[in-house]
């Protein structure tokens, strides 16, 4: 275990965690909502420092990140726990467990992990993903700091449920974020995740105002977050707060964990896609075999500039500066 950051002592052997908006008040011997931050003797500890539950080399498109070094592969790691309780979680076997319920950790020091990433000359960097990396804050912070002065890029795939102070401290060390904006309704967040929407919106705003690259993902669940009016409010908000060039990934839902609702109808995704492209320049469909709506087109002349089929990616219409080869409109900063 390692001493945690961001907490206060609020009573006799009682602490309040300040990492995320839950602000858990944790008694001696107990854990917070994330299941991995524990009060031991009146101090807060992280139980997952240098403990990896899943790792592998993934296409950058799997995060998903479509405008950040397309066609690259990246070392991806995740540990256990999450500060949300989504009934539809795709990775519940690692996200919805505590250290007492998981015994298959791989132990990597921060130095070892960075060296593994550097040993592969074709590897882009390190992605923090699979479960919620924000609750492994101390671990990812140390890895990202160590990677800063190397050639490695760092990526965080997150639910965005983190307080502003720890996010600001982390921002200089994370090159790209994909934030999962699960819905645009407080009712959905309360009912389906046991959390709140507004802190996620705040995190998105903070990232958008930084130098880090930002993309957003929305998993479309039938009858839960697929209301067309609410969805249009969301994409209008994205365009206004983060800019029309922010990539948005609309992902098809399939039954998982505690949810047995049928998979998202393709027509629903197509309808939402058409709504989104009225307001945003780069919208993509995921978990769906649709090469056209997963490829990138120039927002000015509409030439196809990146071809995608599954995780196969070919840059077909961009120069080395990320400009469209047809009209020279700038599209990608990271290529």
What would the DSSP string read from start to end of 108-160? --HHHHHHHHHHSTTEEEEEE-SS-GGGGHHHHHHHHHHHTTSS-EEEEEE--
Does 301 carry a binding-site annotation? no
Give the tens place of pLDDT for each residue, 234-273: 999 999 999 999 999 999 999 888 888 999 999 999 999 9
For the segment 93-115, the average pLDDT, to the nearest whole number, is: 96
Q: Is 327 annotated as a binding residue?
A: no
The reported pLDDT for the residue numbered 258 is 86
Where is 269: in which H helix or E strand? Answer: helix 266-276
Distance of CA 268 to the CA centre of its chain: 23
**CA 227 and chain centroid, separation:** 23
- Same structural domain for residues 233 and 309? no
Residue 184 above 90 pLDDT?
yes
Q: What is the CA radius of gyration of the chain?
A: 20
**236 plus 328 within the same structural domain:** no
Rounded-to-integer distance, Cα 318 and Cα 326, Å: 9
Q: Token digits for 236?
A: 């209008």
Mean pLDDT value of segment 118-131: 98
* Together in a domain, 302 and 188: no
- pLDDT at position 257, please? 83
Q: In this predicted structure, what is the pLDDT of residue 191? A: 96
Same domain, 253 and 332: no
Q: Are 42 and 66 in a shared domain?
A: no
The residues near 247 (Cβ < 8 Å, ≥ 6 apart) are 65, 66, 67, 215, 216, 282, 283, 284
Position 181 pLDDT exceeds 90: yes
Question: In angstroms, rounded to a whole number, what is the distance separating the alpha carbons of residues 95 and 82?
Answer: 5
pLDDT at 40: 98
- 82 labeled binding residue: yes
- At residue 96, the pLDDT reads 95
Beta strand residue intervals within 208-252, DSSP E:
213-220, 248-252
Question: CATH number, domain at 64?
Answer: 3.20.20.70
- Upper half-sphere CA count for residue 187 (Cβ side, 13 Å): 3
In terms of domains, do 42 and 100 share one? no
Do residues 228 and 146 both lie within one domain? yes
- The answer to whether residues 228 and 176 belong to one domain is yes
The tens digit of pLDDT for each residue in 270-312 reads 999 999 999 999 999 999 989 999 999 999 999 999 999 999 9
User: pLDDT (tens digit, 9 = 90+) per residue, 31-45?
Assistant: 999 999 999 999 999
**Do 117 and 8 share a structural domain?**
no
| 197 and 328 housed in the same domain | no
Q: Which domain holds residue 144?
A: 51-288
Residue keyed to tokens 């769906």: 288
Residue 29 sits in the same domain as residue 63? no
pLDDT score of 260: 86
Residues 182 and 272 in one domain: yes
- Average pLDDT over all residues of the chain: 97
Q: pLDDT category, 21, cuts 50, 70, 90?
A: very high
| Overall domain count for the chain | 3
């Amino acid at each position: 275990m390692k001493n945690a950051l961001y907490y206060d002592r609020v009573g006799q052997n009682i602490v309040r965690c300040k990492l995320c908006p839950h602000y858990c008040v944790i008694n001696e011997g107990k854990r917070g909502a994330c299941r991995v931050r524990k009060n031991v003797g009146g101090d807060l500890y992280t139980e997952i420092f240098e403990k990896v539950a899943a790792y592998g080399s993934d296409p950058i498109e799997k995060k998903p990140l479509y405008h950040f070094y397309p066609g690259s592969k990246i070392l991806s790691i995740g540990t256990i726990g999450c500060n949300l309780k989504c009934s539809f979680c795709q990775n519940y076997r690692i996200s919805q467990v505590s250290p007492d319920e998981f015994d298959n950790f791989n132990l990597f020091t921060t130095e070892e992990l960075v060296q593994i990433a550097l040993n592969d000359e074709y590897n882009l960097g390190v992605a923090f993903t699979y479960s919620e990396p924000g609750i492994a804050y101390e671990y990812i912070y140390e890895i990202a700091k160590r990677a800063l002065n190397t050639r490695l890029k760092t990526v965080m795939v997150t639910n965005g449920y983190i307080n502003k102070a720890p996010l600001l401290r982390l921002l200089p060390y994370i090159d790209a974020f994909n934030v999962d904006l699960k819905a645009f309704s407080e009712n959905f967040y309360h009912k389906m995740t046991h959390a709140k929407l507004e802190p996620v919106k705040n995190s998105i705003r903070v990232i958008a105002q930084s130098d880090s690259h930002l993309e957003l993902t929305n998993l479309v669940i039938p009858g839960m977050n697929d209301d067309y009016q609410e969805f249009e409010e969301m994409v209008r908000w994205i365009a206004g707060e983060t800019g029309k060039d922010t990539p948005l990934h609309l992902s098809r839902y399939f039954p998982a964990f505690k949810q047995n609702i049928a998979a998202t109808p393709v027509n629903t995704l197509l309808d939402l896609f058409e709504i989104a492209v009225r307001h945003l320049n780069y919208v993509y469909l995921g978990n769906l075999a649709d090469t056209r709506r997963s490829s990138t087109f120039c927002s000015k002349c509409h030439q196809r500039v990146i071809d995608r089929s599954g995780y196969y990616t070919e840059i077909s219409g961009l120069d080395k500066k990320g400009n469209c080869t047809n009209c020279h409109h700038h599209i990608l900063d990271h290529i």
